[in-house]
């Protein structure tokens, strides 16, 4: 019996982007994400060299890590991570984009698609950003996540956003199984 791959393992295609597993050729651009001071401004600063080397060996094909590439030319724009059972057991989405691709809606498009895919199987999705990261907060709100709580972690004020899967309300949205609630003919 063949088991179909988990939906998160399948490439995700949007109007302009492809979210796919990280490949060896992506490692230099992904390394830039980890070491760029602008990208890492609200993420605790650039990652130190020894940690970068460890991450470089583990990122290629790693589950939950999605290289975000522009569909038209394959240029790597950023990284979206979907971690099942992350913070508090919920599915957590995080993202980083190279500065030269900021302000064009790529992150919003990619995160919206990743959240929608995650909600196909997860009851909720969370994302955390620093309170001071206003651009990230606007992005999370634009893709339907709502402020759930604030807290201090890593010596910075953080904001947790959450989006829950909508409850099925139409008969075609309800899970298949015994039809106890269906009218009898």
CATH number for the domain harbouring residue 78: 3.40.630.30
Cα angle 126, 132, 136; round to 5 = 45
40 inside domain: yes
80: closest CA among 17, 6, 24? 17
95 inside domain: yes
Q: Which domain holds residue 33?
A: 8-123
pLDDT tens string for the chain (185 positions)?
Answer: 444 444 546 799 999 999 999 999 999 999 999 998 888 887 877 888 888 888 888 999 999 999 999 999 999 999 999 998 766 679 999 999 999 999 999 999 999 999 999 999 999 999 999 999 999 999 999 999 999 999 998 788 999 999 999 875 444 544 444 333 433 33
73 inside domain: yes
171 inside domain: no
What is the DSSP secondary structure assignment for residue 73, as one 8-state letter? T
Alpha carbons 185 and 167: distance in angstroms, whole number? 27
Alpha carbons 89 and 145: distance in angstroms, whole number? 17
Domain total in the chain: 1
88 inside domain: yes
132 inside domain: no
139 inside domain: no
Per-residue tokens: 24: 């060896």
24 inside domain: yes
Q: Show Cβ contacts of residue 137 under 8 Å, excluding neighbours closer than 6 positions.
A: 129, 131, 159, 161
CB atoms inside a 10 Å sphere around CB 57: 8
């Amino acid at each position: 019996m063949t088991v179909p791959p988990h939906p998160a393992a399948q490439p995700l295609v949007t109007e302009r982007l492809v979210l796919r597993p990280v490949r060896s050729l992506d490692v230099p651009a992904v390394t830039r994400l980890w070491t760029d001071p602008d990208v890492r401004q609200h993420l605790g600063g650039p990652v130190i060299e020894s940690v970068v080397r460890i991450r470089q060996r583990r990122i290629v094909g790693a589950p939950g890590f999605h290289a975000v590439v522009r569909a038209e030319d394959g240029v790597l724009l950023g990284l979206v991570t979907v971690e099942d059972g992350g913070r508090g057991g919920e599915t957590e989405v995080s993202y980083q984009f190279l500065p030269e691709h900021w302000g064009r809606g790529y992150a919003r498009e990619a995160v919206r698609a990743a959240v929608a895919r995650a909600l196909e199987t997860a009851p909720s999705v969370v994302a955390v950003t620093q309170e001071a990261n206003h651009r990230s907060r606007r992005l999370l709100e634009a893709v339907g996540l709502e402020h759930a709580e604030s807290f201090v972690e890593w010596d910075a004020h953080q904001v947790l956003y959450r989006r829950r899967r909508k409850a099925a309300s139409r008969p075609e949205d309800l899970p298949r199984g015994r039809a106890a609630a269906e009218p009898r003919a």
